[in-house]
Structure 1
Amino acid sequence: MQIVSQLLFVVALAAAIYVFSRRVMGIRRNILLGRDVALNDQPALRWKNLLLLAFGQKKMFRNPLVAVLHFFVYAGFLIINLEILEIIIDGVAGTHRIFAPFMGVVYGVLIGCFEILALLVAGGCLVFLLRRNVMKIRRFLSKDLNGWPRSDANYILITEIALMVLFLTMNTADQVLQSRGAAHYIQTDPFWISSHFTPLLAGLSDNALIAVERGAWWLHILGVLAFLNYLPFSKHLHIILAFPNAYYADLRPKGKMENMPAIQQEVLYAMQPELAASAPASDTVPKFGAKDIQDLTWKNLLDAYACTECGRCSAACPATQTGKALSPRLIMMKTRDRAEEVGRNKEADNKTLLRDYITEEELRACTSCNACVEECPVSINPLHIILQMRRHLVMEESSAPQEWNMMFSNIENNMAPWKFSPDDRDAWIH
């Protein structure tokens, strides 16, 4: 029977790792569909961003209460899963709490700390469920989250609560069995939280207690493996991608926009035609802006996969708040959806990110104020995607509102946005 249990465990573990690895490689492939960009300058500042924004969650602490709860859930869940190492060894080797005899008193302290964190994780998740479903917070009620995105967040929170309850149930049954001297249940110091719940299970027989302990053990580890494979399909992938995303964040000043050397060269040639005559001929036609995900950078696509869908960007966006079509959160969600579709399709599907996913109306509603970039907890930059797509509209399709075209014409002819020649610019003085 023990051999069968070990074999089942090994099969479940191997299957989970295999499926997870395949999904991760698929996401990597999708991100690398974007064009290359070098983001390896200023490594000291990049490491600082990783530590402060990803590990320290610096931007979250603008709302201290929510930040503390989020930190409990985030750090607690990661730390508690160190216990998974022991479970994996026990599952493969057929042992029970293999570290307990070697660690002595430290083992009880460690499990006690894990139990406190489990309570904090469960409590934090419960509060977040209430915030999302009862408190009617505006950014969680947005139509951006209609359908799967809204359910996704609830599924994750409920799963985390269930995993913490199973962890505490397993420990409680284990403590009762220890007190009865049951075979294979190694004596440890009382666990700090579960030891207070032992009276709830004291009336059960040894066989029933073993069934509860083993059942909770199996459900806990299978739940963790299921969570591992659900993660890459969920917005909670940011648990992993927040770290590289913070490291590769754009370090330029927020208001600085990216120039294109090809455009600057064309302007220079227009102003100095003699330079154009002596310039070497090029066989390639420069491409301006972005129409589909292949025209975006890999960092833009990493941003899309790292998006937490928290809505802080849209809550800060003046266009969103005044009822315009634009939602920076939705820009990232649509970019990710398009990357997924392109990654799945082996042949061209005659769709593009522009228009099939993101409309011109959305792009033109953006004021380029950088509020979305400033608010994002994990250094996502929706504005960079918007600007590249808007650049494509203007420079590749000559598609712009009449007011913009008038301004472009004035700049081209008069070197200023106004319809006055340079010689008449000071006429108002007289």
Structure 2
Amino acid sequence: MSHTEAAKKPLVLRNSNFGRLWISSTAGIFGTAVTSIALPVIAVTELDATNATVAVLSGMTFLPWLLFALPIGVLVDRHRRRPLIVVSLAVRTLLLASLPVAWWLDALTTVQLFAVSFGAGLAAVFFTLGEQALVPLAVNREELVEGNGLMTGSGALGDAGGRAVGGWVTDAWGASNALLLQVGASVASLVAILRLDITEPLPDRQKDRKVLRDMAEGLRYTFSTVPLRMLLITGALWNLGGNIVVSLLVLLVIRSLGETPGMLGLLTAATAAGGTLGGLSAKRITARFGSGRVWRYSMFPVVAGYATLLFITPGRGMTAGFIGLFIAGFSISLNIVVSTTFRQRVCPPEMLGRLGSAQRMVTWGMLAVAAFSAGLLVEAVDIRGGILTGILVAALAPLAAAFGPLRRVRDLADLEPPRPASNAADAGQPAA
């Protein structure tokens, strides 16, 4: 087959290593989506937790990013990434499997639910940072937009399927039993990672390098340029406001509107379905309009989409929410692909773990802060008042992008520093 003919094949077919990463990521996201539906429903229906408890629960998964992302990022840069991914996936699977076992034994408690959520989130820090650092080793620089688009799009599809199936299975089997789907998905993810054939560069383990120094280096790099700072600020603002909304959605749908967990799963799956289309369309849209423009304006439709949740009612009145969340998911995916690709292209390979950890410590750490904020807001201004507050906070993100220092940039690629042609990262790994 000629080089031209091979290039026409989808990346997942012409590059088997990327295909294995893609399978692992998609299966993992499917399982995570099931868990994201099951855990709050366990709290609501099986443990009869308070509104504030349910809202705070969603933040436990992301709290490890705020507390431990920086030191874990250093570990990811100092060790082979694949073994870290394998161990962390196995630990997370065992933790989540303990919940249905405890339910069968009539021993499940809110304390265990919070502890498992935190532990599973801590494991996710390891495999998420490790996976992100492996993508540039599996593809060359010119394939990053396509690769990130496929990862984001298929991940959103796995998220949509996981939420829809998770909602249905939660209705049919019970919320705790639904977590058995996550166990199966994690096994598939593990098998795919074990079949990777990527030669990782020898990690830097110089004895004179200190963990705190490496952590500080990653944090400094995250704030080192205007583009990286703006991506960080807008991501943090969006996650703070957006996750206040998401943290209260289960209470809005199940307790306020009296709908079923199945309806909750379908509603949140609309976001993921939109994300699938957005991820798969990202390469074409950024080529047409420019990645800078896509990054600046993609968050405005997300705010409008989330605002539809203020007007949903039971039954047919849920339609506005489905449409709004679909649009939100589409636009979020575009923003993620553009931001992720830019970071991967400008960051030296040996810094990828630390850049990812520092960036996510702030942006994903805001998801935990948002959940705790939602717990306070639901007591102070009720569910819809909390959702409105989250929407107003999230609106600050597109405003900062549209009127900030990058407001006239058409393509973020124009802001990349020059790289020597001999750089190993440009060469990537050959397709297996």
TM-score, normalised via structure 2 length:
0.28
Question: Which structure shows the bigger proportion of residues in helix conformation?
Answer: 2
